[in-house]
Amino acid sequence: MNKIGLILSREYLVRVRKKSFIIMTFIGPILFGGITIVPIWLSKEAIEERVVYIKDDSGLFKGKFKDSDNTRYVFTEANLEEAKENVDRHVTPNLLYIPAIDIDQPKGVAFFSNSNPSFSLVNDLKNVLRDVIEEIKLDRSGLDKQVIENLKVSLDISTINLREGKETESNVGVATVVGYLGAFMTYFFIFYYGTQILRGVIEEKTNRIIEVIVSSVKPFQLMMGKILGIGFVGLTQFVLWVILTAAVSSGIFYAFGITKSDPGNQINQTMDIQDAEAIAAANSKSSEMFQAILSQDYTLIVFAFAFYFLGGFFLYGSLFAAVGSAIDHESDAQQFMLPITIPLIFSIIALTAVLNEPNGSLAFWLSVIPFTSPVVMMMRIPFEVPLWELLLSMVSLLAGFIFTTWIAGRIYRIGILIYGTKVNYKTLAKWFFVKS
Amino acid sequence: MATLYTDRINKDFIGHKALDDISINIPEGNIYGLLGPNGAGKTTLIRIITQIIMADSGVVYIDNRPITPRDIERIGYLPEERGLYKKMKVADQLLYLARLKGISRNDAVDRIRTWLKKLELDEWANKNVQDLSKGMQQKIQFISTIIANPEIIILDEPFSGFDPINADTIKDEILKLRENGATIIFSTHRMESVEELCDNIALINKSKKILEGSKVEIKNSFKSNTYYVEHKGDLVDMPKEFQLIKSEVNGEQIAKSEIMISDGTVGNDLLKYLVNSVQVVAFIEKIPTMNEIFINAVTQERHE
């Protein structure tokens, strides 16, 4: 065991001191921070007050445009050419031109701007125009306004999770985002660090240091030390990312004057991007959303990530080590890597189906089978998984990696000492059955 | 001090017999040459002794008991195909390899300092291995083999990659290690180093041991009772117990001849005869070189 520790610490220290690790450690959180911050920042930009000049030749819309927090509507009497010139000279940056339209066929409405108008602004304008025209048409049809009002339905379903005796307001949107993030991170980490195992094994083989090492330790100890060492590098990276991402995000939040004590504001803007309809949502609804984000059990998610990353990494990593031991060059790895990684890739593809029914039988089986469980379970956790399923999945992952490590160890002990042989699946099977 | 012997080792690689009933006996404090052409099975035998691979049958004995995994710490092994972690610092690398052999950190640090100084590498301690010349890397590799003060040292082609000066340094160190009681197994097909260093040898060919014993005895057993003579004057009408094998004359009229004597006569008889017939310049008994023995034994096998 002591020797595994020595190998582990070498593998760990060599990688943690590498420039690429340090760069990744700092760039990761900036990227993640950026992903969460940029949309907020963008919507904050949009909050600057803008003025829309309206040249209404039809005369139907006077007083119909209501000023909002950040948009003011001004009717202009200038003729169209003048007004357009003003846009060009930045005097009036936005101009909505409504010609004298035929309400049965409203055509020729145009929006002039010296920059690309935002999607939400155009949407707002369209909504007002449509409403007004609809209203006029309804008026003409002679239907009672009251009847029409009564026909309109306003419906909103709040989803409330009754499990474990307490009512937690769950939000499918938040759970989806958190789930996807966890699943992709697991996938990425398994792949990224799994490949490092492959490289490390091939390096030792091509360096020919392997024979020196295995004259001091058992091949299995070397393999385990390497896998554990690299696994801890991954874990270190993850922990640093969590800390730094939190720091970067809160730093930027602070810089933009969005603080946690002002959840309404923060959420309002997040929703800008998520859902155009929701822009109109009231502040009370925003804080519900904020509650939903907070209601996720992040301790569980971080713990689960650590477990499923390490479990999945050991499972696939040991197979990668076996592949690395069998070949002489990284370029030969492809034929063996593909079949190994198919379940991993499949679990990413299956995420959409899992998302449709996070507690359905497909989701259940994929999160119990150890080859797909690391990715799929991370998707399911934000949707609250029964404890027994979580435990079953963890036990099965443990069993899975013990099994693959055993197989890999048997191939590895032979493979690392064999050079220049064309290896196929038949030879791998022969190595596996060689007695020790 | 340690003795080592193997008892009827067999090893089969998928359809190919690599070692066939190999029993060798390595006396303690000896330099033991393991000789044989490429592919004879030397490396396989070494890998079995170092417990990198397992024999199909047969036992390796160390100090008259079967070898155990713990004994690995008493063996230092320099493989023929060597390598180091290229991007690791020299001192760190040696420390790592020493600690894998069970040496404590403090001991290892001291020994590394001493050895680097001894082989004039102390300035390179904090350089990455890839920044060193090939010869220096080989020296580092040699240090890594002996850093744990092993009682048994196995060197597979230790001189390959060294210039003559460095090869000499290493040779001196090997001899010192023997003086300090280490048992050294030395695998090579360079006969001049066998000639210089080995006390005992075994010759392996086509997975079988065909010769084993002390170098001197083996050489004597391959003697062909032939003498090399340089002389002035012609050799004519020699008695029938002396047979002239060849003779040639160079510019200064010194003839170089090889004479084989028949059984029952000794070298002195020939010398007496020569002294009376010609002017003797040189008289040497022809003892076969290891090279000749090696080629002889291997080609003979091939013909059988």
Q: What is the DSSP string of A233-283?
A: HHHHHHHHHHHHHHHHHHHHHHHTT--TT-HHHHHHHHHHHH-GGGGG--H
Buried b (16+ CB within 10 A) or exposed e, A109-140: eebbbeeebbeebeebbeebbeebbeeeeeee
Residue at token pair 């022969």: A430
Total residues belonging to chain A: 436
B97 in contact with chain A, both atoms CB, cutoff 8 A:
yes
pLDDT of the residue at A48: 62
Torsion (CA) A264, A265, A268, A269 in degrees, nearest 10: -150
List, for residues B203-240, the tens digit of each pLDDT value: 998 888 888 888 888 888 888 888 888 888 887 778 88
Closest chain B C-alpha to A400 CA, distance in angstroms = 28
Tokens of A325: 């031991």
Rounded Cα–Cα distance for residues B75 and B182 (Å): 10
- From the list A3, A211, A430, the residue facing B14 with the nearest CB is A430
Minimum Cα–Cα distance from B47: chain A residue: A215
Tokens of A280: 């109109």
pLDDT of the residue at B219: 86
pLDDT reading at A119 higher than 90: no
Q: Are B20 and B199 in contact (CB under 8 A)?
A: no
CATH number corresponding to B224-286:
3.30.70
Residues of chain A positioned with their CB less than 8 A from the CB of B84: 207, 209
- Of chain B, the percentage scoring pLDDT greater than 70 comes to 99
Residues 6+ apart with CB under 8 A from A383: A170, A175, A179, A358, A359
For the ranges A222-231, B140-149, B283-292, the lowest mean pLDDT is seen at: B283-292
Closest CA to B295 of B158, B156, B191, B187: B191
Mean pLDDT of the A274-290 span? 48
Tokens of B159: 């001189």
Rounded Cα–Cα distance for residues B41 and B52 (Å): 14
Selected residue with higher pLDDT from A136 and A316:
A316
Distances (CA, A) of A364 to A159, A347, A367, A388, B13: 22, 12, 5, 11, 46
Is B99–A6 a contact, with Cβ atoms under 8 angstroms apart?
Answer: yes
Rounded Cα–Cα distance for residues B34 and A79 (Å): 105
CA atoms within 13 A on the CB side of A61: 30
Best mutation target among A204, A215, A432 (most B Cβ atoms within 10 Å) is A215
Strand pairing category for B75-78 and B16-22: unpaired
Closest CA to A190 of A341, A52, A84: A341
How many Cβ atoms are within 10 Å of A390's Cβ, its own excluded?
A: 18
Mean pLDDT of the A191-205 span? 91
- Superfamily of structural domain A50-151: Periplasmic binding protein-like II (3.40.190.10)
pLDDT of the residue at B152: 92
Where in chain B are all domains bearing CATH 3.40.50.300?
A: 4-219
Is B79–A212 a contact, with Cβ atoms under 8 angstroms apart?
Answer: yes
Where in chain A are all domains bearing CATH 3.40.190.10?
A: 50-151
Rounded Cα–Cα distance for residues B277 and A158 (Å): 126
Report angle CA B23, B59, B141 to the nearest 5 degrees. Answer: 85
- Residue A95 phi, psi dihedral angles, 5° rounding: -135, 125
Displacement of CA A361 from its chain's centroid (Å)? 24
Closest chain A C-alpha to B53 CA, distance in angstroms = 8
- Supply the ipTM of this predicted assembly: 0.77
Selected residue with higher pLDDT from A30 and B68:
B68
Burial of A342 (0-12, 13-18, 19+ CB in 10 A): exposed
Residue at token pair 């792949």: A191
Query: SS3 for B107?
Result: helix
Best mutation target among A1, A208, A211 (most B Cβ atoms within 10 Å) is A211
pLDDT of the residue at A159: 60
The CATH architecture of the domain made up of B4-219 is 3-Layer(aba) Sandwich (3.40)
Torsion (CA) A68, A74, A75, A81 in degrees, nearest 10: -130
**Band of residue A65 on the pLDDT scale cut at 50, 70, 90:** confident
- From the list A211, A216, A419, the residue facing B101 with the nearest CB is A216
- From the list B47, B52, B86, the residue facing A207 with the nearest CB is B86
**Band of residue A33 on the pLDDT scale cut at 50, 70, 90:** low
pLDDT of the residue at A37: 62
Closest chain A C-alpha to B185 CA, distance in angstroms = 15
pLDDT of the residue at A281: 44
Sign of CA dihedral A344, A349, A353, A356: positive
Rounded Cα–Cα distance for residues A254 and A33 (Å): 13
Selected residue with higher pLDDT from A173 and B64:
B64
Closest chain A C-alpha to B69 CA, distance in angstroms = 9
Interface list for A 180-209 with B (CB within 8 A): 203, 206-209
Mean pLDDT of the A244-255 span? 74
Residues of chain B positioned with their CB less than 8 A from the CB of A217: 100
A14 in contact with chain B, both atoms CB, cutoff 8 A:
yes
Rounded (10°) angle between helices B90-100 and B105-118: 130
Mean pLDDT of the B160-165 span? 84
Best mutation target among B11, B68, B92, B99 (most A Cβ atoms within 10 Å) is B99
pLDDT of the residue at B244: 85
Residues 6+ apart with CB under 8 A from A275: none
- Of chain A, the percentage scoring pLDDT greater than 70 comes to 80
pLDDT reading at A227 higher than 90: yes
**Band of residue A394 on the pLDDT scale cut at 50, 70, 90:** very high
